[in-house]
């Protein structure tokens, strides 16, 4: 039995977009993941790709003989079907080391004066939350995180920086994130993580998946350098706890 | 193997695209004009997933170091084999020492070069399509080497006929389906968009084509959601961006239309200051 009223829309010749109610919620994300698991259980050869983020699920089919009405019926019955409901949905909590030193957190002083909040308070609010990964996009390995304290919400820069360094941890609007590679960006930089969120040389380039959670773990500049070296030599593994 | 003597403006390897990695944010990539890319493989009896070379506006100069059959499709760029003009959509045998070069751009902007057996650039995440950050290079540089399967030249190549007098992309009609956020806009606003002749701006590349005209200003935004090559986004400024093959996987602007694969191919042959009109192929 499905929990939500879903909207099915054709999206071009060979894709379907399924939308849950337009709110950002952990329950919706969980419902999407249940549905994805049930669809994957069917092992349909026609499905090229399942892609979900926030309240949307995109299904790309591998043929142009993608008959919307037919596929919608099939998907609806899979959603309503109580068989093959996974007993548990695994979720991993990842500990992401972040150095909040002012050498990296170049906008901490600015945020502190604008928000009239000590730098220590900004860091403590930022590190004390387990953030939900609602999806990955924008750049390979860029996590859309939910859970930023309202007290840290702050509008983006008027003009984006041309190059935000790789690993930068930043705040933009009511979101926080980590830049997986150097790129232009308009968020305020509060620290840097020495880890590579996306490494194409690895068999699994990005170990964090939508549905997981992350926690920022403050480290010193010395630890930052050590982790960087360990990672460059292939001797660093992200700390994580997996449970259902 | 072949050697890149001159790289041209933006020359890369593309195939049918990279699927299965959108959930970690990896774009689809693949031939911008998949119809011409498909012809290039079909004329050599290649697999449809074989990798071809995508050549943009200014062609490369290539030195073959082994024999193969080759075909050029798509844009008309006055190709020459050892300084003798050759035709698009016709199979030619090449041998060690042969030089392929390109001249004046006459029609379209992207042409496709295929070799029998397909180019063998690195396969990353199940695709050979170049994308900087995923593959080790985004486009070719001078003196790069590119391998392909050595094959005995076989003259029994298919004699497929393609009418190339009027290429399929010689139109400014871009067919679109409704997009997920179409209903956020009034039918008057949509009719205005559908009756506008849009001009391709200088901001056009493998990620997207931005149009010049400001048609419908708005303040609507959506929760970040998947986008596809061919998605038409309406920016708050009133301008349109049509996403192309290297587009990011998610977006937050209203998705008002979705191009057909053929229309993506047609648009991929347009350059700055060319015009296009959107034709909705279902009722409003």
Q: What is the DSSP letter of A28?
A: H
| pLDDT 10s digits, B180-211 | 999 999 999 999 999 999 999 999 999 999 99
User: For residue A99, which phi and psi values (nearest 5 degrees)?
Assistant: -100, 115
Is residue B72 domain-resident? yes
pLDDT digits (tens, 9 = 90+) for B21-31: 999 999 999 99
CB A136 within 8 A of CB B24: yes
pLDDT the model gives residue B158: 56
Looking at the structure, tell me whether residues B226 and B113 fall in a common domain. Answer: no
pLDDT of residue B157: 56
B249 and B124 both lie in a single domain = no
Q: For residue B159, is pLDDT > 60?
A: no
Q: Which residue in B26, B180, B250 is closest to A11 by CB distance?
A: B180
- B92 lies in a domain? yes
So what's the pLDDT on residue A234? 82
Task: Quote the mean pLDDT of chain B.
Answer: 94
Average pLDDT over residues B174-185: 97
Contact criterion met (CB < 8 Å) for A9 and B248? no
**Contact A11/B23, CB-based, under 8 Å?**
no
CB contact under 8 A, A58 and B226: yes
Question: Do residue B101 and residue B8 come from a single domain?
Answer: yes
Q: Are residues B243 and B133 in the same domain?
A: no
> Do the Cβ atoms of A22 and B223 come within 8 Å?
yes
* Total count of domains within chain B: 2
Q: Do B23 and A52 touch (CB under 8 A)?
A: yes
Measured distance CA(A167)–CA(A184) in Å, rounded? 13
- How far is B64 from B54, CA to CA, in rounded Å? 17
- Beta-carbon separation of A140 and B133 below 8 A: yes
Residue B164: inside a domain: no
The answer to whether the CB of B275 falls within 8 A of the CB of B199 is yes
How does pLDDT run across B225-239, given as a tens digit for each residue?
999 999 999 999 999
- H-state helical runs in chain B: 34-42, 187-194, 261-268
* Whole-model pTM over 0.80: yes
Residue B88 resides in a domain: yes
Domain span at B132: 2-146
Q: What is the mean predicted confidence (pLDDT) over B220-249?
A: 95
Tokens for A211? 């549905």
* CA dist., res. A152 & res. A217, Å (int): 17
B20, B21, B23, B133: best to mutate for the A interface, most A CBs within 10 A: B23
Pair B102, B213 in one domain: no
pLDDT score, position A43: 86
Residue B139 has pLDDT above 90, yes or no: yes
Q: Give the model's pLDDT for residue B52.
A: 98
Same domain, B120 and B255: no
Which chain A residue has its CA at the smallest distance from B126's CA? A203
Residue B202 is part of a domain; what is its CATH number? 2.40.100.10
Q: Are residues B129 and B180 in the same domain?
A: no
Residue in A58, A151, A179 with CA at minimum distance from that of residue B227? A58
Beta-carbon pairs below 8 A across chains A and B: 106
Summarize pLDDT for B74-128 with one digit per residue, the tens.
999 999 999 999 999 999 999 999 999 999 999 999 999 999 999 999 999 999 9
DSSP SS3 for A154: strand
Residues near A128 by beta carbon (within 8 Å), at least 6 away in sequence: none
The encoded tokens of residue B183 equal 């209903």
Q: How far is A119 from chain B (nearest CA, A)?
A: 30
- Asked if residue B160 belongs to a domain, the reply is no
Domain identity same for B212 and B113: no
pLDDT at residue B152, as a whole number: 66
Digit-by-digit pLDDT tens for chain A (244 residues) are: 568 999 999 999 999 999 999 999 999 999 999 999 999 988 888 999 999 999 999 999 987 667 899 999 999 999 998 776 667 788 899 999 999 999 999 999 999 999 999 999 999 999 999 999 999 998 899 999 999 999 999 998 888 898 999 999 999 988 999 999 998 888 999 999 999 999 998 889 999 999 999 999 999 999 999 999 998 888 888 899 987 6
Per-residue tokens: A173 = 């609007």
Report which of residues A158 and B242 the model is more confident about.
B242
Tell me, yes or no, whether B181 and B116 share the same domain: no
The whole-angstrom separation of Cα B163 and Cα B183 is: 40
Q: Answer yes or no: do B23 and A141 touch at CB < 8 A.
A: no
Q: How far apart are CA A155 and CA A122, in angstroms?
A: 15
Cβ separation B134–A138 shorter than 8 A: no
Tell me whether A218 touches chain B (CB under 8 Å). Answer: no
Residues B132 and B47 in one domain: yes
Q: Which of B24, B178, B228 sits opposite A140 (nearest CB)?
A: B24
- By 3-state DSSP, what share of chain A in percent is helix, strand and coil, each rounded to 5? 25, 30, 45
Chain B touched by A136 (CB under 8 Å): yes
Residue pair A97/A217 in contact (Cβ under 8 Å)? The answer is yes
Whether residue B194 lies inside any domain: the answer is yes
The answer to whether position B163 is within a domain reads: no
**B186 and B142 co-located in one domain:** no
CB of B127 within 8 A of CB of B18?
yes
Last residue of a domain, one of B99, B129, B146: B146
> Does one domain contain both B261 and B133?
no
How large is the ipTM? 0.92
Nearest CA to CA, how far is A172 from chain B (Å)?
14
B162 assigned to some structural domain = no
**Residue ranges of domains in chain A, CATH in brackets:** 7-80 (3.30.1360.40), 91-243 (2.40.100.10)
């Amino acid at each position: 039995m499905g929990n939500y009223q879903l909207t099915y829309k054709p999206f071009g010749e060979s894709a379907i977009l399924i939308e849950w109610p337009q709110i950002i919620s952990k329950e919706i994300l969980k419902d999407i993941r249940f549905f994805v698991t049930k669809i994957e259980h069917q092992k349909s050869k026609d499905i090229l790709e399942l892609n979900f983020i926030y309240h949307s699920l995109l299904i790309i089919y591998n043929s142009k003989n993608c008959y919307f009405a037919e596929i919608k019926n099939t998907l609806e019955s899979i959603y309503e079907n109580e068989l093959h409901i996974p007993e548990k949905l695994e979720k991993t909590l990842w500990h992401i080391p972040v150095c909040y030193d002012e050498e990296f957190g170049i906008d901490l002083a600015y945020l502190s004066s604008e928000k009239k909040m000590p730098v220590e308070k900004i860091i403590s609010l930022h590190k004390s939350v387990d953030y939900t990964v609602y999806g990955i996009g924008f750049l390979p390995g860029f996590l859309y995180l939910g859970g930023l304290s309202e007290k840290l919400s702050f509008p983006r820069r008027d003009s984006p920086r041309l190059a935000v360094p790789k690993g930068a941890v930043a705040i933009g609007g009511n979101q926080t994130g980590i830049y997986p590679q150097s790129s232009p960006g308009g968020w305020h930089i509060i620290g840097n993580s020495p880890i590579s969120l996306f490494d194409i040389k690895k068999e699994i380039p990005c170990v964090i998946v939508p549905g997981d959670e992350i926690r920022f773990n403050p480290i010193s500049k010395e630890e930052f350098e050590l982790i960087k070296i360990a990672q460059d030599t292939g001797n660093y593994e992200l700390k994580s706890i997996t449970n259902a | 193997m072949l050697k890149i003597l001159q790289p041209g403006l933006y020359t890369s390897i593309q195939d049918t695209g990279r699927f299965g990695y959108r959930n970690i944010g990896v774009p689809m990539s693949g031939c911008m004009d998949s119809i011409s890319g498909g012809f290039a493989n079909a004329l050599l009896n290649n697999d449809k997933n074989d990798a071809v070379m995508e050549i943009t506006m200014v062609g490369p100069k290539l030195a073959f170091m082994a024999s193969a059959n080759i075909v050029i499709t798509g844009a008309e760029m006055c190709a020459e084999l050892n300084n003798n003009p050759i035709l698009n959509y016709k199979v030619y045998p090449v041998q060690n020492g042969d030089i392929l070069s390109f001249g004046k751009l006459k029609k379209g902007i992207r042409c496709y070069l295929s070799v029998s057996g397909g180019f063998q650039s690195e396969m990353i995440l199940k695709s050979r399509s170049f994308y900087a950050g995923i593959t080790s290079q985004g486009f070719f540089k001078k003196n790069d080497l590119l391998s392909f399967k050595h094959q005995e030249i076989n003259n029994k190549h298919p004699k497929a006929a393609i009418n190339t007098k009027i290429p399929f992309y010689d139109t400014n009609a871009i067919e679109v389906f409704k997009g997920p956020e179409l209903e956020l806009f009034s039918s008057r606003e949509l009719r205005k968009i559908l009756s506008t002749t849009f001009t391709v701006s200088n901001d056009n590349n493998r990620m997207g084509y931005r149009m010049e005209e400001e048609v419908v200003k708005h303040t609507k935004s959506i929760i970040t959601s998947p986008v596809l090559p061919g998605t038409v986004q309406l920016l708050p400024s009133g301008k349109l961006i049509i996403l192309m093959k290297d587009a990011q996987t998610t977006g937050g602007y209203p998705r008002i239309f979705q191009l057909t694969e053929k229309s993506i191919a047609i648009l991929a042959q347009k350059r700055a200051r060319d015009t296009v009109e959107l034709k909705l192929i279902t009722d409003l």
